Amino acid sequence: MKNSSVDLFNKLGTSEILKGVSQPIIIADRLRTPENIGLILRLAGNINALNTLFISDEGHKFKKYKIIKTASGAVTKVDWKIIKPAELEDFLPNDYKIVALETCKDASSIFSFKFPKKVAFMVGNEVHGISEEMLSIAHQKVYIPVPGPISSLNVTHALSIALFEWLKQIQV
């Protein structure tokens, strides 16, 4: 009989990985597609995020059924909110550092970057990236080198890479 991933992870004790470690926060700036919102919620559940904040100027104009379908149960299992840009500081503990995942001139390569233990990961819009307004409040900026002919990553792929690199670093 094939073991489920839940059984395997319980046996391996993966729920203990973050014991005594500050949970990360995820900030997504003005995403356009409900599927990406759902996938980010699923990632938030995978990594046990403290909070997941979706910045939006337009409020709740998303196709909720697509979010729910893509999130695979995470909608009810993780703490998440859709907020306006001005509300962000209300949801961030003072001791957390915002790390923006953005390819820009003053960004550091993820290959050499040391993530803070108390971190809020910021990702941006699928077309325009992180807005200047949100980028200006980031404490640090990180890019993921892409050696192939396609020079960008899907927002959820970039977030996955960064979240699990952070997790790897805090395990050492």
Entry pTM:
0.89
- Rounded CA-CA distance 107/100 in Å is 9
* Domains defined along the chain, listed by start: 23-171 (3.40.1280.10)
pLDDT tens column, 118-169: 999 999 999 999 999 999 999 999 999 999 999 899 999 999 999 999 999 9
Residues 6+ apart with CB under 8 A from 104: 135, 141, 143
3-state secondary structure 91-115: HCCCCCEEEEECCCCCCEECCCCCC
